[in-house]
Structure 1
Amino acid sequence: MTAVVSCDQSVRNTSDLLNSTLPLGTKSNLVKKTTVVSEEMASQIRVKLLPRAKCLFDEPVQVKVAGLRSRQVVTMRARLTDEKGVVFSSSATYRADGSGEVDLERDPSLRGSYVGVEPMGLLWSMRADTLQKRFQKNNSLNPQVVKFSVLEEEGEGRILAEVTNERVFIGKGVTRLRVKEGNIRGVLFTPPGEGPFPAVLDLYTLGGGLSEKRASLLASRGFVVLTVAAYGYDDMPKKIQEVQLDYFEEAMQFLKKLDKVGSKGVGVLSLSKTGDVALSMASYLAGVDAVVWINGCCANTLFPLYYKKSLLHPGLLFDMSRMIPTESGFGIVKNVINNPLAEENQATLIPIEKAKGHFLFVAAEDDLNWDSKAHMDELVERLKRHGKMNFESVCYPGAGHYLEPPYGPYCRSSIHYIAGTTVMWGGEPRSHAAAEVHMWKKIQEFFRSHLSCNDTQGTAKL
C-alpha cells in the first residue's frame, strides 16, 4: 500500500515539474523516469487462475488480479479461437478494491459483456467475431485455450497482464478409440482403472459429423461412452431418407460387451432430433435403462423410423411457411413443426409407456427451435396416463435450445442444418449458462442412479 502511494505521488510531482520552466534535457530525463515507474507498476500486476490454469472444460476457475492501484478501474478480457478458426471474445470492466485486487467471484462487472457478479461470465458471454457462428469443438484431443487479459480502462488499452487457461476435454488416463466395427461408426471413450463402469451411448447429433465434447467429458467423470453418428461421418452415406433403429441396437450391444462395462443396461444421452431416437430406443429395444432427453420432440420427426425392415413410425414433418421473420433477418422456427397430437399425425407419437427404463426430461422454456416444454408436458402426461412414474423432469426458464456442457460461449443464432437458414435458438445468456451448469450435474447424478455398478472407480483427474 505504501509503495502505491509513493508511485502516485512520484507521478504527480513529475507532472508539476514538467509544467514548469526547466531546461529541455531535464524534462526529457523526467519523462524517462516517469515511464520507468509506470512500467514497474505494470510488471507487478498479476492475473491468476485458481485452483490451477489447466482444467477440464466443464470445470470453473476463479479469476483474480493483484498488484493494481487502489480502486483502479481495468478491463478484463477473454479470447479464444475455435477449431474452425472463429475468434470468440468478451470483456467486462471491474474496479479493484482498496488493496488493488479484483476477484471475479466477489466483484461485480460494471459494464461490458455482462454486469454484476458472474464468476464465469467472461466465458459464457463470449461472442464470435463473425456473425451467426456456433462455438465448434468436435475434436476432443486438442484442448481449448482461453487467454485472459487485464487491460487499462479503455477496452482496447494497453495490456497489463495475461494468463492462459488450458481447458481440456479428456481427463488423465481416459482413452479415445475410433470405432469402425460392423455398421458402427463413432468414437469410444473409456475411463482409467479396471472398472466396472456404467455405459452411455451419446447421440449428440444424428449425422453430419461427430462432436466428442460431451462423450469425452462424461468419460472423465467415470462413464464408458460411445458417441456415434447415423450418416455423414467417415464412410457413411452423406444423406439418409430413413432411420434404422437396428443401427443403434448394434451400438448398444457393442457397448455392453466391453470388458470395463459393469452396468446391466445402457444409458442414452440425446439432444434435439436425437431425443425422439432415444425415446424410440427405450420403447422398442431391451437394455435401455436410462434416457436423458434434452429439448426434443414427443414424436418421431423428419425421417420414417424402421426396425428390422418394418416401419415403426412415419416422420412428423414441418412447414417452413410458418417461420417467423425477425428484424435481424433471422427466422424463428418454433412453430414450423406439425402438431404431433393432431389426428393425422397420431402415428408419429412414440409409445414411451412401453419403456422399462427411466427418463430424465430436460426442457428449455425459451427454446425457439420448437416447443420443448410442450413436448415434455405431453411425454409426462402420457406416462402418467399409463400409471408410470419412471421419470424426472426439469424446466429452465430463460434457457435456449442448445443446452450443452457448461462454460462454453452462448449461441444466440446460427445456421439450422434442416431449415437451411439462420435461425434464433432462444435463451438469455446468463440464464442459459446457469441452466447448463445445473443440467450437467443432474445428468451425471441421473446416470449414476440408474446405471449402477458394483465397485465403480472414481473419475479421471488432470
Structure 2
Amino acid sequence: MSSQVRLRLLPSARCLFDEPVQVKVAGLRSRQVVSMKARSTDEKGVVFSSSATYRADGSGEIDLKRDPSLSGSYVGVEPMGLLWSMRPDTLHRKFKKTNALNPHVVKFSVHEEEGEERMLAEANNERLLIGDGVSWLPVKEGNIRGVLFTPPGEGQFPAVLDLSSFKSEKRASLLANKGFMVLNVAVFSDKPDNVKELHLDHFKEAVDFLLQHPKVGSKGVGVISRSKGADIALSLAAYVTGVVATVWISGCSANVAVPLYYRKRQILSPVVFDFSKLIPVESGAFIIKDGVTNPLAEENKGSLIPIEQAKGRFLFVASEDDLNWDSKGYMEEMVERLKRHGKDNFESVCYPRAGHLLEPPYGPYCPSSVHGFVLKPVMWGGEPSSHAAAEVHLWKKIQEFFRTHLSCDATQTKAKL
C-alpha cells in the first residue's frame, strides 16, 4: 500500500446499517485515475463486491459525494454506489443478513487503475444492525416464535409487529434503533411447501403480546410486511382490533398460496401460482409476474382481503418494475375499493424503475434469487440506482407514517452508537 494515500469514511467507520457514509480519498497524484472497490461476505459465505473508476481532482482527492464514477458497477455521482451495487460472486444470490447481532462489514479499497492494480489504501466500514442500548430478546410464548427489539430507556414506546415472510431481523432491528419496540415474527418457520394452512390467530397473539407489554405506550400496534407477509398484514388490519397502522410493501390484495383460518374456520381461500406462466430468461431465472391467478376473477373472490373493514390507517407501497407480481395493480385495486366504500384511511406511493425487494437502504441490490414458493431463481425487477434511491425515500416514509399514527411520549427516543 502507498503510505501517502488515505481512505477515510466519514463521519465514522462504524455506523448503523441504514446510515450513509462519506467516502473520501486523499494523497493521490493530480488527476490520477483509480479503482474504488467494496467487498463483503454474507452469512452464507457468499462474497459480494463492486468496483468503480474515479479520477482525482487537481489536489489528488476524490469525494464520492461530489465526484462521478466514470465506469464500473455504476456511473455518475452515487455517494453510496459502492454499497448498493455490490454483486454476488455466484448467480441468483440474495445478500443474507438475518441475524441482527452480527454487523455487516464492508472493506473499501483504492487501487491503481493500471498494471497489477496495486492496492493503495483500505478501510473497513462496520455497519451495525442493532445500536447501543437496544435489547435483543428471543420470544417463545404460545404460538409466537420471534425476536423482540426494545430501544434503550424505560419507555413508553410505539409498538410495531414486523412480519417477515421468512426469518430476517434486519428491518425490525433498524426500526428499534429509531425508538420503536418491534417484535419480528416470520410468516413461515417451515418450508412453504410443508405448510398447508395459516392461522391468523397466531399473528393476533403477537399483536396482543405487544399491546400488553409494560414498555409499550401506543394505544395500538403498527404492522409492516412485504410480499406474502403483506397479505397477512392486511388480514390483521381487517380482522383484528388493535392494529392501527399497516405498511404493505410489494404485496397482493388477496390471500396468497395457502388458506387462512381465524377462530377455527377458514376466512380466506388462496390465489395460487400457475407455473405454466413462468417466462425463462437467459440467466436461468424466470419472470413470474403473471404467475399468480387473478384475484378479481369470480372464482377467486373468496381470496380478496376485506380491507374496507379495517379501522386503522394504511401505507401502500408498490414498484412499477415489480417482476414478482403486479403490486402496482393490486395497490390501485385496493385504493379504488377503499374509495368506493367512502374510506380515506390510506396513503400510497409507487416507485418507478424499482423492483419487488424494497428493503432498508444501502444493502446490495438483488436482481435475482431463488423464490421461497416457486423454488426456482426469479427476476425481482428494478434498475439498481433507482431502486436504491426508492429504498432511501421509503425508509424515511415508513418511520414518518408510524410516528404519526402510533403516537406516544417516547416516539422521539433514539438509539445512539
TM-score by length of 2: 0.98
1:400 counterpart = 2:355: yes
Partner of 2:133: 173
After superposition, the Cα gap between the structure-2 partners of 1:266 and 1:309, relative to the gap in structure 1 and judged at 3 Å, is: same
Q: Any idea what the Cα deviations from partners look like across 1:14-46, whole Å, max 9, x if unmatched?
A: xxxxxxxxxxxxxxxxxxxxxxxxx7xx20110
| Residues 346-391 of structure 1: per-residue CA shift (max 9 Å, x gap) | 1111110100000000001100000000000001001000000000
Shift in Å, 1:230: 4.0
**1:94–1:237: structure 2 CA closer, same or farther, 3 Å change rule?**
closer
Aligned match of 1:146: 106
From 88, 92, 97, the counterpart of 2:52? 92
CA distance in 2, matches of 1:61, 1:454: 31
Q: Confirm or deny that 1:335 pairs with 2:295.
A: no
State which structure, 1 or 2, has the greater radius of gyration over its C-alpha atoms. 1
Which ranges of structure 2 fall in alignment gaps of 5 or more residues? none
CA contact (8 A) 2:403 2:411 kept: no
Q: Does 1:81 align with 2:49?
A: no
Q: Confirm or deny that 1:380 pairs with 2:326.
A: no
Higher helix content, 1 or 2: 1
Give the 3 Å change call, closer, same or farther, for CA 110–154 of structure 1 in structure 2: same
Residue of structure 2 in register with 1:346 after alignment: 301
Give the aligned residue type for 1:47: L
In structure 1, C-alpha distance between the alignment counterparts of 2:250 and 2:409, rounded to whole Å? 32
Retained in 2: the 8 A contact 1:195–1:456? no
Relative contact order higher in (CA < 8 Å, ≥ 6 apart): 2
The aligned amino acid for 2:144 is I
Give the 4+ runs in structure 1 shifted more than 3 A.
Answer: none
> Which structure 2 residues correspond to residues 91-110 of structure 1 after superposition, within 5 A?
91-110=51-70
Contact in 1 for aligned 2:368/2:379 (Cα 8 Å) = yes
Shift, 1:458, TM fit: 1.7
Query: TM-score, normalised on structure 1?
Result: 0.88
Question: What does residue 173 of structure 2 align with?
Answer: 216
* Per-residue deviation, 1:155: 8.7
Greater mean deviation of Cα atoms: 328-337 or 117-126: 328-337
The runs of 5 or more residues in structure 1 that have no matched partner are: 1-38
1:238–1:256 distance in 2 versus 1, CA, 3 Å: farther
How large is the RMSD of aligned CA atoms in angstroms? 1.4
Equivalent position SS for 1:199: strand
CA distance in 1, matches of 2:114, 2:145: 50
Deviation string for 1:61-96 (max 9, x for gaps)? 000000111111111000000111000000001000
Asked if 1:289 is matched to 2:249, the reply is no
Give 3-state SS (helix, strand or coil) of 2:173's partner.
helix
Partner of 2:310: 355
Post-superposition offset of 1:428: 0.6
Query: AA paired with 1:232?
Result: S
Structure 1 residue corresponding to 2:154, chosen from 175, 183, 194: 194
Q: How many residues align?
A: 417
Matches of 1:366 and 1:188, distance apart in 2: 33
Q: Which residue of 2 aligns with 1:4?
A: none
Change (3 A) 1:456 1:442: closer
**Is 1:317–1:338's contact at 8 Å kept on the other side of the alignment?**
yes
Q: % of aligned pairs identical?
A: 70
Partner of 1:185: 145
Bigger shift: residues 55-64 or 311-320: 311-320
Q: Measure the CA separation in 2 of the matches of 1:146 and 1:133.
A: 18
